Chain A
Amino acid sequence: MHIEVTAEPLDPQRAVELVRRDDAGAVVVFLGVVRDHNLGRRVLYLEYDAYPEMARRVMRELAEEAMGRWPIVDVAVLHRIGHLEVGETSLLVAVSSPHRAEAFDAAHWLVDRLKERAPIWKKEVFEGGEEWIEGELPSPR
């Protein structure tokens, strides 16, 4: 399992290498990318803020939970923070498994849960202003 919260650019090929194994016939990679528009506005760039120690813990706990729910071989979850331009990758999830169905399902589940629970925020800087995007309120469990 590989968990990272970093200001450095994320490299999908490296994530594939982190999870690839000879007994895994499938590797699913998800990239969350900065889009050039949101809510009808032209986005210039994003600034990500995070509580890095806690984000790593939440990412690790979710990756462990995914490994318990599906027969996954390995997982990498990487989130970039700081200044990101349109087209850059902010979230990278890679899952390897013997067969494709569980890798797709686990990657989908992980991305959804991360967006709900990881203490990470994006400020959208658009033409004419800026705004912290507030999405899901995490609940204790």
Chain B
Amino acid sequence: MKARVLLFARLKDLAGVSEAEVEIGEGLTAADVFRLLQGLYPGLASYDAPLAYAVNARYVSPEHPVRDGDEVAFIPPVSGGGTCTSR
């Protein structure tokens, strides 16, 4: 089974890649796939901020199962918009 993984922002810098095809085992969750990537790209091991997950461009829980052919994105806290804050 294979999944396409996408890394953004700080995760992309830490891994040194923005996307990859990875071989995944049966029954892995989105969080499991991130742990697998931390083994493949040691720079990711130091990532300690919260993380959100998306499978096929929809937010999912960390426990969401990953299937063959899925696109799994790892989403650090987002910061779109201008430099404006609500304060």
Chain A contributes a number of interface residues (CB within 8 A of B) equal to: 42
Q: Which of the residues B51, B77, B82 comes within 8 Å of A32, measured between beta carbons?
A: B82
B20 to chain A, nearest CB (A): 15
Residue on B nearest A32 in the bound complex, by CB: B82
Chain B residue with Cβ nearest A138 = B52
Interface string of B60-87 (1 = CB under 8 A from A): 1100100000000101111111111010
Contact B83 A137 (CB under 8 A): no
Interchain CB contact under 8 A, B12 and A49? yes
- Give CA–CA (A140, B52) in the complex, Å: 8
Interface string of A40-77 (1 = CB under 8 A from B): 00010010111101110100000000000000000000
CB atoms of B57 and A121 under 8 A apart: no
Q: How far, in Å, is A3 (CB) from chain B's closest CB?
A: 13
- A114-B57 contact given A51-B6, A121-B8, A139-B52, CB 8 Å threshold: no
CA distance A57 to B50 in the complex (A): 22
Q: Is the CB of B75 within 8 A of A119?
A: yes
Across the interface, do B54 and A34 meet the contact criterion of CB distance under 8 Å? no
Q: Is the CB of A111 within 8 A of B75?
A: no
Q: Is B9 an interface position by the 8 A CB rule? A: yes
Within 8 Å CB of B41, what residues of A?
Answer: none
Binding site for B on A (CB under 8 A): 31-35, 38, 43, 46, 48-51, 53-55, 57, 79, 89-91, 111-112, 114-123, 132-141
- 13 further interface pairs, Cβ-Cβ under 8 Å (given A90-B82, A134-B79): A32-B82, A35-B82, A38-B83, A49-B8, A51-B6, A89-B82, A112-B86, A115-B80, A132-B76, A132-B79, A135-B77, A135-B78, A136-B78
